[in-house]
Structure formats: C-alpha cells, structure tokens
Amino acid sequence: MNILYFLIGCSVLMALIFLGAFFWASKNGQHDDVHTPAVRMLFDDDKPEEEQV
Amino acid sequence: MKSSSTSTDTLCFHCGNEISGELHIADEKQFCCAGCKSVYQILNQNNLCNYYNYNEAPGQTRQETEQHFEFLNEPKIFSQLVDYTDDNITLITFYIPAIHCSSCLWLLEHLHKLNKGVMQSRVDFLKKQVAVTFNQHIVSLKELVELLASIGYEPLISLQDVVKEKKDSVNRDLIRKIAVAGFCMGNVMLFSFPEYLGLSSFEHQFQSLFGWLNLAFGSVVTFYCSRDFFVSAWGSLKNKIVNLDTPLAVIVAVLFIRSAFEIITGTGPGFSDTLTGLVFLLLMGRWVKQRTYQHISFNRDYRSYFPVAVTVIKDGQEKPVPIGDLNIGDRILIRNNEIIPADSILMKGEGYFDFSFVTGESQPVNKVLGEIIYAGGRQIGEALEMEIVKPVSQSYLTRLWNNETFKRNDNKIRNFNDTIARYFSAVVLVIAFASLGSWWVLGDTKKAWDAFSAVLIVACPCVLALSTPLTLSTVLGIFDKNGFYLKNTDVVEQLARIDTVVFDKTGTITCPNVVNLTFTGRLSLQEETLIASAARNSSHPLSREIVKWLGASGLVPVSQYREMAGKGIVAGIDGHEVCLGSRSFIAPDSAVNENSSSVHISIDGNYKGYFHVRQQWRSELKGLIDTLKGGFRMHLISGDTSSENKSLEAIFPSYVPVLFKQSPHDKLNYIKKLQLAQYKTMMLGDGLNDAGALRQSDLGVAVTDNINNFTPGCDAILQGDELGKLPRFIKQAKDAVRVIKYGFGIASVYNLIGVYFAVQGQLSPLTAAVLMPLSTITIITFTNIANRYFAKKNKLK
C-alpha cells in the first residue's frame, strides 16, 4: 500500500497545478469579462475582399 | 385633440425609428435623418455592412450637434485619459453608452478597417467599454473620437473618467481566496473520507499523514483565506462593538486550535473539514454580497456632467483648458449646447440657458449682458463669451458637494445581521462557559474543554453570513429584471424601513420625452400644412411633436429655411414666410403668460396663435400615489415654478405638502428636516439639482428613462416606466427581511441540535461536518423558494 503515498503526492501536485492555472488566468484578466467572448465567437469570419461585391 | 400618429409604416434602416419627417434615401434604403444615412454610407464605403446583418436596425439616432473635441489634443488632458502610451502605441479605454447589441460589438472591433491607425479594439460588452490600441502618429486621439462619433458611437469623456477608479483588485483578491479555500476544502474532504468510513487496521499508518495534510491545508485557510474575518473582528472589537465577523473569527480560531491540538497530540482527526468548508461558504457569501452592476455607476457627481475642458480666450487665442485649471477672471467661450462650468458673467452674445440641471425647469431662460450665470446652465444658441467669477468647486451648484453630507461616510442604520450578531454571540458564550464550568465541577477537565470548543464550533452563525447575502442578492436579481437597480445588498434593508416618500417633479414624475400640446388660436388647413412643412426640417423635439400633432399630409417643399437655436425657425414656403418659436422671438408684445412653455406661430407676419406645451405625468403616477397613500407620508419638492399646480391637485391628495422653487440646497435641507423628525425618507429625483437630497435621504432613488444616461449619485436607479411598481418593490424588500428572519429561525434549530451534542462533549468531527452543510443547504433552498414565492405574490417578474 506504500504506493498510496506516491499517489497522494501526485493528487496534491495535480490539484496545485490546477490552482496555479486558475491564478494565472485570474491574473491575466480572463475572468474580467465573461460575457463578450461568448458573443464574439458567433461572428462570421471576414470574407476575402474580392468576394464582397 | 388630433391623433398624433402619422400612419407611415416606414422604419429607418439604421435606427429602426418611424420616419416622420423628410425621407432620406441611399441605396434604396430609407433613413429617418441625415445622421443615420451618413453612418450607413461610411459603413458601406468600408465594406462593413455586416453590421446590419447581425441585428435588425442596430443603430441609434444621432443627435446632430456640433462637437468640439479640440481639447483632446492638449497633452495634459491626453495623458490623463490614456491608459498607456509610448512612441508608437497608445492604449485608451472609452465608455460608450450606445453599445447595446452584437452589431455594436462587431463594428467596434472592426475599427481598424475604418482607420489604419487603429491596431486593435476590444469591447467589454457589459461594462460598455472599448479598449482601443492605436498609433497616435497616424490617428490622433481627437480623430479617433471623431471617428467613433461619426459612426454613432460617441464615447463619453468626463472628468470622472480622468480619475480612473480601480476597484476590481478587491474583488480579484476575494476570488483568489475562494479558489484557495475551495482547493483546500476539496483535498481535506478527500483525506477525511477514510476517517468517516472507519479505518481498517492496516490503514492506520495513513491516519497521521492524513491528519498532518489536513492541518497543512487548514492552516492555509486560517491564515490566508480567513484573514479578512480576523481583521474585521479586531477592528470592531477595538471600537467596542460586536459585528457578525466577531463570532466568525472566534469560530475559525477555535476550529484551528482544536484541530491542531488533536493532530499534534495524536488524540483525534481534528475539524479541518468543517473549518475549510465553513470558510469556503463564508467567502462565497461575501462574494455574492459584493457582486454589483458593472455598467451602472451610482457615484456620479457634477464632474460627470461637466465637460472635461472649456475654451479659454487668452490674448485673442482660443485654447482648450481643463476645468480644474480655470481661474477667476478667465474669459471662456461657450458654444451651443455647452455647459457653463463655473459661475460667470455674460460678456458677449445673447444667452439662452437651459437650467434643468440646477432648477429642474427645462424652459430656456433669456439672460442679458452683465448678468451672473450659475454653473450648470446649458447654452442654447450662439456662442458666448463669459468671465469666470467663482472657482468651479465654489459655484452655486457645485458648492452642494462641499456640504458635509457628501463628506461623511455612510452612516446608514445597522442591518439585521450586525444587530443579531451581538445577542447571538452573547448566548453562545454563555452556553459555552456554562458547559465548561459544569464539566469542570464534575471533575472532567478534558471533557470540559471538549464541550467548550464544541459549542463554539457548532453554534456557528454561518447561516446568517450566507443566507442574508443570498436572500438579498436574489432580491437584487428580481428588482433588476423589473428595472430597479440597487447599489448593493444593504439597500434592500433600507428599502424595507422606508415610511416617507419625497418626490421631485420634473423628470421624476413627468415624462421628459412626452409632451401634451394644445393649440390656442385658429388655423386653416393650408396653414397647418405650412407649419408642418416648416417644422419637419427641425430636429428640435418640440418641432417633431408639432409635426406629429398636426398629422398633415401633402407636405410642401421648403425653399428657404433658417433655424436659430433657442429662438425658433423661419421658413419660406410657397411664397409664405412661416415663423415658429418662442414668445420673445415671434410676438414680444402678446399677453401670454411667460411662465408656461409655448411655441408661437406667425405666418407672413400675422400672429396666428401658440402651442401650449404641458408636461405629461407618467401614466403610472396616479396608481402609484393611490397605492402609497395608505402606508406612506408623501412630499413633493420641485425646483420649477408653480404653473402646473392645478393638474397636481388631481393626482396628489390635498394633505401632501407641495413646495415649488426649491433650490438644490433647499431640497437637501428639507430632507434633513424630515429625518430630524425621525422619518425614514426615500427621495426620488432625477437631476443634478436633486443630488444633495438624494445623498442626504435614507434611500436616494434616481429615476431615469435610460439607465445609460447620467444619473446623479444615489443608492438605486429606477427606470421611469417602472415607477408604478415602487410599492411592490418596498413590499418585496419587507418580505426579504422576513425571509432572513425565518432563515435565522431554521438555522437556530440546527444549532440547537448541534449544541445538544456539544455540551455533552460528544461532538464528533463527522456530526459537525454533516450538520453544517445540511443546515446550509436547507437555508439556501428555503430562501430561494421563499423569495420566488414572494416575488410572484408581489407580481414582480
């Protein structure tokens, strides 16, 4: 059962990585605006110039 | 009275408004005005017509006013406005109230197609902000703002934007703490689980490891996440008061000390699970409480209304100067539609001032040379030269903000939570010490300490800390859907206490956009057509009303047309000269009462009569007053003259005190007087002139027809057309306070069960860990259901 010591270490480490990722996202302002990106992704890409007549 | 609808079904392609005046056509598309058409043409030229694909008629009618943005070229103002600038790149964030749909978002993020100087633009939709990165050598700030204005998205640049408020950092810190607390809670739960299920013999080797890990997570939560509770509790104890954070801090401390003691001595598993779960929930409660409306500002003062800079004439040169740098004796140039920033003497030009900010009276006032004009007046008409006689902050209107009312911090009434926390803490301490004492007397010192700490742990007011913000924020959400926006959750409790309602008149209980026209005089059909043909050329709201009122068809083309702002219009039609305008402009010697607002008509020099403009009461007003009559004292204080007295009597009962010609200071003092008489006063107002009264009152409500418009500093913003719901809002707030009290009752039952085990010294970590979330879930469910039930009962969406 000594493998459990290793697994516990892994699980805590994984969780810490996720926590770190959250901190990083929060610091980068990813949670500042949670509405606009959802609207923005629905826009069509701009057509190339020649097709726009 | 004629019906006011011209049954044209043509809608403007750009803004979707009904086309009432002259038709503007481009590319077989119809527009209501030249402004809308020009926006379309700009977009069409730049292949940006996708704008019209995402939404039907996404634009907004543009007020065609001449704008002067020269001040943006001033280095001093420039550096105050921009977020960042270096040799090639400048970053600026604009607040654009017109942002309202996905088309706006799309267009504003394609600004680089309109101007090569723009590198990137990002919209924050809810905050109605655009962050633009641009090269200031290719496009200057002034050109950028003019570009935005030309496509109908004029940014609002006010002095309050110069003083950028950064309040996000507090929130971000809280979110970080919640994340850490959640992380610790999850891990502690994982490591506590074997303990709950019972450990088999070979698993005992893990027991101390789990214990130490739990303690490690527990200490992070105690020393990092719960810091605010300790700080707040310490602060209030120093002031010799007990607030809700005091018992919370005690519990967190006791939980941690006992857990540490048990784990270090190896006598038990400790309470880390309860500790981390509790702190996580408490922080969530704080977060719910802190959430506010990001796009609505409740703290505006006169600086939001005043321009950033005015033009100063010095040695024959015109130069824009920031308002803060104005001195007594400066010569300033005030153009049409500009606001006077400081009390000044009129030196040159003819002044027509709209003093609605100061007095509430919207009818322009004529001023002659040498008169002192109060700050806050808006010039309508030709450009003026004026000399400043008082500094900006010492002027008649702005002096209001020097009043002590604006300097003190909120000294609003104690809320239910803080009141109950005192008694709650006292009771818990008595029980805890009683059980400590009785076990001590019985000779079991270990059990004595167990029982003592267990009582403190289990009798946790965490439900109060959680259910109150949840209840109040649910109410905020309900109000939000009904067009009533509160500054924060505390306002709900204020609202429940209100017993006196004070109304402002103009703009608050009248519709600013709807007017009632009546015509005095005689007009032939042909004359009606002439007047309608002349009036439809003007964008003045009254001209539009007159066109609607006349409803004439077969309009005649106008050969000559001249509009004099603040005076009226002259048009040559079919060989006739048609004049519309103010009394002094058309018929200076007629005997009509000057107090009332009117539009006078003359054709070919013959006086024909006048349109009388009466303000329209909001349609919900009568119902509102009738409902409020039962339970509230009412007062009406108005800044304007008493010309509408008669129609008021039909709506307000005779015992309601009605005061006219009240200055902003009078209004403030009136509220003060009511408060001295122990009335809990709610003030409903709309303009800068009500700002003092709104601030002084126990609950200041700004009434507005467009929540993106400027509203003075207040506790709540109410949409004008929802005014009739006010009594129901108050009822809902009262119900919410009741829900909180019931929730407290339910929580007490759980607490009593816990205390029953605790005083016997038998509280197992499992019982504590089950009781706490169970009571929390019960309370959350209860408050949610109860709030929705009351909302339904009060007929709120």
CATH code of the domain covering residue B726: 3.40.50.1000
SS3 of chain A: the string is CCHHHHHHHHHHHHHHHHHHHHHHHHHCCCCCCCCHHHHHCCCCCCCCHHHCC
**Residue B789: which H helix or E strand, with range?**
helix B765-793
Q: Count how many residues are written for chain A.
A: 53
| CA nearest neighbour of B159 among B66, B71, B91, B70 | B71
Residues B596 and B632 grouped into a single domain:
no
Q: For B239-348, list the strands marked E by DSSP.
A: 309-314, 317-322, 331-334, 344-348
Strand partners, B515: B615
The residue ranking higher by pLDDT, B31 or B276, is B276
Residues B240 and B341 grouped into a single domain:
no
Q: Check residue B224 and give its pLDDT.
A: 94
Give the count of Cβ contacts less than 8 A between chain A and B. Answer: 54
**Judging by DSSP bridges, how do beta strands B568-573 and B29-31 pair with one another?**
unpaired
Q: How many CB atoms lie within 10 A of CB A12?
A: 17
Residue B128 in tokens: 């109605």
**d(C-alpha B718, C-alpha B507), whole Å:** 12
Interface test with A, best of B47, B111, B212, B295 (most A CBs within 10 A): B47
B126: pLDDT confidence band, cut at 50, 70 and 90?
Answer: confident
DSSP string, B10-72: -B-TTT--B--S--EEETTEEESSHHHHHHHHHHHHTT-TTHHHHSSS------------GGG
Q: Check residue B8 and give its pLDDT.
A: 44
Residues B395 and B484 grouped into a single domain:
no
Contact status of B170 with chain A (Cβ, < 8 Å): no
List the alpha helices (DSSP H) in B564-680: 583-586, 621-631, 645-651, 664-676
Nearest to A19 among B127, B183, B206 (CB): B183
Q: Do B124 and A23 touch (CB under 8 A)?
A: no
Q: Check residue B4 and give its pLDDT.
A: 39
Contact status of B126 with chain A (Cβ, < 8 Å): yes
Residues B623 and B506 grouped into a single domain:
yes
Q: Check residue A14 and give its pLDDT.
A: 93
Residue B137 in tokens: 């050598």
Contact status of B590 with chain A (Cβ, < 8 Å): no
Interface test with A, best of B44, B102, B178, B203 (most A CBs within 10 A): B102
Contact status of B120 with chain A (Cβ, < 8 Å): no
Q: Check residue B408 and give its pLDDT.
A: 58
User: Among residues B682, B702, B734, which one ends one of the domains?
Assistant: B734
- Kindly state whether residue B364 falls inside one of the protein's structural domains: yes
Q: Are B194 and B203 in contact (CB under 8 A)?
A: yes
The residue ranking higher by pLDDT, B399 or B43, is B43
CATH number of the domain residue B126 falls in:
3.30.70.100
The residue ranking higher by pLDDT, B338 or B597, is B338
Least confident range from B434-438, B486-490, B584-588: namely B584-588
Read off the amino acid at residue B365: V
Residues B716 and B637 grouped into a single domain:
yes
Q: Best-predicted range by mean pLDDT among B475-489, B682-696, B724-738? A: B724-738
The ipTM estimated for the assembled molecules is 0.85
Q: How many CB atoms lie within 10 A of CB B548?
A: 19
Contacts with B92 (C-beta within 8 Å, 6 or more apart), sequence order: B81, B82, B83, B131, B132, B134, B141, B144
Residues B176 and B270 grouped into a single domain:
yes
**d(C-alpha B362, C-alpha B506), whole Å:** 8
Least confident range from B45-49, B304-308, B450-454, B470-474: namely B304-308
Show residues of chain A in contact with B102, CB under 8 Å: 39, 42-43
Residues B658 and B634 grouped into a single domain:
yes
CA distances for B118 relative to B45, B83, B122, B141, B279, angstroms: 18, 15, 11, 11, 47
**d(C-alpha B636, C-alpha B647), whole Å:** 14
The number of folded domains in chain B is 6
Q: Do B109 and A40 touch (CB under 8 A)?
A: yes
Q: Do A31 and B125 touch (CB under 8 A)?
A: no
Q: Do B124 and A33 touch (CB under 8 A)?
A: yes
Q: How many CB atoms lie within 10 A of CB B743?
A: 23
Query: Exposure of B159 by Cβ count < 10 A (0-12 exposed, 13-18 middle, 19+ buried)?
Result: buried
* Longest Cα separation, chain B: 114
B413: pLDDT confidence band, cut at 50, 70 and 90?
Answer: low
Residues in chain A with pLDDT values less than 50: 51-53
Q: Check residue B188 and give its pLDDT.
A: 92
Q: Do B125 and A23 touch (CB under 8 A)?
A: no
Q: Are B219 and B252 in contact (CB under 8 A)?
A: no
Across B342-351, average pLDDT = 86
Rg of chain B (C-alpha set): 33
User: Among residues B616, B639, B657, which one ends one of the domains?
Assistant: B616
B596: pLDDT confidence band, cut at 50, 70 and 90?
Answer: low
**Judging by DSSP bridges, how do beta strands B365-367 and B129-134 pair with one another?**
unpaired
**d(C-alpha B596, C-alpha B111), whole Å:** 47
Q: Do A36 and B124 touch (CB under 8 A)?
A: yes
Chain B CA closest to residue A3? B206
- Kindly state whether residue B483 falls inside one of the protein's structural domains: yes
pLDDT tens for each residue of B605-663: 788 888 877 777 888 888 888 888 888 899 988 877 666 667 777 788 888 888 888 88
Interface test with B, best of A2, A18, A19, A52 (most B CBs within 10 A): A19
Across B533-542, average pLDDT = 75
Average pLDDT score, chain B: 81
Q: Do A35 and B126 touch (CB under 8 A)?
A: yes
For residue B280, the enclosing domain spans: 170-293+412-462+743-775
DSSP string, B491-508: HHHHHHH--EEEEE-TTT
Residues B191 and B262 grouped into a single domain:
yes
Residues B200 and B256 grouped into a single domain:
yes
Q: Do B125 and A32 touch (CB under 8 A)?
A: no
Q: Are B148 and B117 in contact (CB under 8 A)?
A: no
Least confident range from B37-51, B74-88, B285-299: namely B285-299
Q: Check residue B102 and give its pLDDT.
A: 84
Q: Best-predicted range by mean pLDDT among B533-537, B556-560, B600-604, B731-735? A: B731-735
User: Among residues B10, B26, B53, which one ends one of the domains?
Assistant: B53
- Kindly state whether residue B551 falls inside one of the protein's structural domains: yes
Q: Check residue B162 and give its pLDDT.
A: 46
Q: Is pLDDT above 80 for B301?
A: no
Percent share of chain B, pLDDT over 70: 88
Nearest to A26 among B106, B176, B202 (CB): B176
Q: Is pLDDT above 60 for B163?
A: no
Q: Which residues of A touch B (CB under 8 A)?
A: 1, 4-5, 8, 11-12, 15-16, 18-19, 22-23, 26, 31-33, 35-36, 39-40, 42-44, 49, 52
| CA nearest neighbour of B182 among B214, B215, B221 | B221
- Kindly state whether residue B792 falls inside one of the protein's structural domains: no
Q: Check residue A48 and give its pLDDT.
A: 60
B259: pLDDT confidence band, cut at 50, 70 and 90?
Answer: very high
Nearest to A40 among B47, B105, B168 (CB): B105
Q: Do A12 and B187 touch (CB under 8 A)?
A: yes
Residues B285 and B178 grouped into a single domain:
yes
CA distances for B281 relative to B172, B191, B255, B493, B624, angstroms: 17, 19, 15, 22, 41
Q: Check residue B225 and give its pLDDT.
A: 93
Q: Check residue B65 and give its pLDDT.
A: 57
Q: Check residue B292 and give its pLDDT.
A: 62
